[in-house]
Every structure is written in structure tokens, then in C-alpha cells.
Amino acid sequence: MGRLVMKFGGTSVGDIERIRNVARHVAREVANGNQVAVVVSAMAGQTDRLVGWTREASALHDAREYDAVVASGEQVSAGLLAIVLQDMGIPARSWQGWQVPIRTDGMHGAARITDIDGSELRSRMEQGQVAVVTGFQGIGPDNRITTLGRGGSDTSAVAIAAAVDARCDIYTDVDGVYTCDPRIVAKARKIARISYEEMLELASLGAKVLQTRSVELAMVHRVPLQVRSSFEAPDSPNQNTQDGSGPGTFVCDEEEIVEQQVVSGIAYSKDEAKVMLVGVPDRPGVSAGIFGPLAEQGIDVDMIVQNVSEDGEHADVTFTVAERELDRALQVIGGLKDKIGFSRLISARDVAKVSVIGIGMRSHAGVAARMFSALAEKGINIQAITTSEIKISVLIDAAYTELAVRTLHTAYELDAQDTV
């Protein structure tokens, strides 16, 4: 019927019984006539354990040896799944990233895929063999093992799908992409279809379902992508994986979505920190003098707000960074005080970013006004705003995060309808 890459995360392969469940999902697709490759993560908790051992061995460890250690978790998962599949009578063979090969740059611990030669995998798949590939890893220019960072198995799966011209199913512990985190909003709805752009925004703004880089690759290479649950019974009749009508969420081109919502989802992130420079001279080149050094240190800046004072000669500049980067950012900016000439440096960690996302924003007015009005009615103050063509994000006090998310979910009519 087609060529398929199936990816299973750490929870899905958490023990031998769950690996057997994964094998039954694979067996179903093989029985349906599909040529199958499987990408697996390390068993749940194993990567954290390996990282802990590495740090215990040496706080200042060699990044190349770090990758050699933490990449071993996926090797175990791949080998075990191949064994279980063979025991079920399905031809299968495990593959490590360097055997494919999955070529990456040399940034150990956060490598990016540069090329995949999918010819051997494609040949094996055409012969009926299931290729079980280790996710999260590849081989660098120095022929050393590299790892792709947290969530890298998603990226591995999409990249392999692009290399062998396959569609890609990402199996997780949730049954699709929701309009919001169901743990916060009880009436959150599962989205049947979502555009690549919307999914990319959701992933980058706090939704944990897919890694941002995997969505980027799927969008660039137009890889058909579906998010679904590995815990749904493999023999369930509701198992269509090809046209987006199945149990999960289909990530696709905007043109494939018949009925577009103005807002598709609400995302939030509490991993935010705010920095404010008070009394900055309002002259050309000052902004470059602030954000250039931050960029040189690899510190990403998100929201930026500048307010000019009444005297017209000074301004207050506010921006946000990831909370884990706050101390480094303050160190960089603090060292620039004499050069920039600001009077005070203020920071805060108790902030959160809440975002509304939807491709329908392109053709509908009043989306921002509804957001601001809804938050104002609940007494929630907005500290900063940033927008794109399909997204509006606001920075608020972290204590109001859940209230803001629920309020906006209702305001944009995303709540699931009660059933009798």
C-alpha cells in the first residue's frame, strides 16, 4: 500500500510488554502491505539515567563521550524491538544512526542532520524487511556518534521518511494534537487536521507533542505526518493511517484543510524570564549594542518592547529569554552598562507566555482585540506582546497562566461541546 516510517517514544517502549505492543502495531502495518521502517527512542527514563551517570563521572565531560554514552539507550530499544519482531515471524533488523548513515554537523549534544543516504534502508524495506532505526543520533564529520538533543527521535523519523519517500506516523502517549493542554482545559478538543505552520508555532511555543525541528523538516520536505497514540489497541478497527481520517491528528498543507478555524489552539510556556533596561539612551545603534552580544553568546531573545520616555532622550527596553538563560543574559548585559549607558537592570522569573495560533488570522480581523478584551475582563495585565501572521503571544504574570489559557480557549470557542 505504501512506505511508512513509524516512530515510538520512550514511554511506548518503556518495558518488554510495551515493546511487544509496539511490535503488534508494526505487524498490523506489515499485514496491510506497507513497507515499514521504525524509529525508536530510549526506554522511558533511560536517557536521564545515562545523562546523570555522565555528569557524575565528570562535571566537565567531553561532549563526544557524552554522546557515545547517551546514544546507547536507543541501541537497546532498537535491538529489543527487532528481537520481538523476529520472534513474531516478521523479518527485522536494527540499525544504528551511523549505519544508515545519518550524517550530522559536529555540534555534539545538539547536532543537526545534514544528509541521509536512504538507499540501503529503502532496498531492505522493498525486500520486506522492517528496519528498526535508533532515533536521536547520527554520525558527525569526525565519524563520531552525535546526538540531536531532546526530542531528537521525532526529527530522526521525519528525516528518514523524507530520505525514503515515506509518510510518517509519530506514536506518543497522547492520541493527537489538542486545542490546548487537556490537563489545564478539560474541554480541550483533539484536532483532526492542522497545518504545518500552525503545528510549528504550537511546538515552538510550548506544546510538547512534537519537536520543533521535526515539524520544520516535515514542512520543507512535505512529509505526510500523523500524531497518534501507541496505547490504542493495535487491532482497533479505527486504524486508518493514510488519509488523516484515523484516530490521530494529521499535519498537512494548509490547502488540505477544508474548514479552517480562526484560532486552532492555545499554547503556553512558563520557561520564560523578563529583562528590563531602564534609562537607555535613545540613539541609533543602541539596540544592536544590546542584542548583538546576546546573539554572539547564543542567547535567543523573544519578545522585545521599547518605551520612549517623556524627555524623548531615553527609553526602557524590555525583552524575554528562556528562564535557563537568564543568568547568562544578565551577565552579558551587566558587562555592557558603561558602553550602553542604561541606569538600571531589572529582571523577573515569575512570568509566562501565552499564545493563540491559527492560520485563520490571516483573513479575520479582531483576533487580537478579542484576546486583549478577554484577558482584561479577568484582570490579567499584559506585560509584552509579539505577533506573527498566524500567532499572537502575550507575556503575563505566571500566577495567571491557567486562568488566561482557559479564558482564551473559551473566548475563541474552542471548548468541546458537552454531550448528553
pLDDT in tens, 80-106: 999 999 999 999 999 999 999 999 999
Sign of CA pseudo-dihedral 36, 157, 23, 231: negative
Grid cell 519517500 is found at 165
**Quick one: angle between helices 63-70 and 72-87, nearest 10?**
20
Ranges in the chain annotated CATH 3.40.1160.10? 3-255
**Quick one: angle between helices 16-31 and 72-87, nearest 10?**
60
Ranges in the chain annotated CATH 3.30.2130.10? 265-411
Q: Assign domain 3-255 to its CATH superfamily.
A: Acetylglutamate kinase-like (3.40.1160.10)
* DSSP state string for 6-48: EEE-TTTTSSHHHHHHHHHHHHHHHHTT-EEEEEE-PPTTHHH
| Residue numbering of the annotated binding site for ATP | 7-10, 172-173, 178, 183, 208-209
Strands 3-8, 167-172: pairing kind:
parallel
pLDDT at 244: 44
Backbone dihedral region for residue 398 (phi beyond 0: left; psi -120 to 50: alpha; all else: beta):
alpha
CATH of domain 265-411: 3.30.2130.10
pTM of the model: 0.84
pLDDT at 240: 52
Beta bridge partner(s), residue 146: 138
| Residue numbering of the annotated binding site | 7-10, 47, 74, 172-173, 178, 183, 208-209
pLDDT tens for the chain, 420 residues long, are 699 999 999 999 999 999 999 999 999 999 999 999 999 999 999 999 999 999 999 988 999 999 999 999 999 999 999 999 999 999 999 999 999 999 999 999 989 999 999 999 999 999 999 999 999 999 999 999 999 988 899 999 999 999 999 999 999 888 889 999 888 998 999 999 999 999 998 888 767 788 889 999 999 999 999 999 988 888 765 655 444 456 799 999 888 887 677 899 999 999 899 999 999 998 888 899 999 999 999 899 989 988 887 777 888 999 999 999 999 999 999 999 989 989 999 999 999 999 999 988 888 888 999 999 999 999 999 999 988 889 999 999 999 999 999 999 999 999 876 533
Contact 170, 133 (CB under 8 A): no
Backbone dihedral region for residue 376 (phi beyond 0: left; psi -120 to 50: alpha; all else: beta):
alpha
| Residue numbering of the annotated binding site for substrate | 47, 74
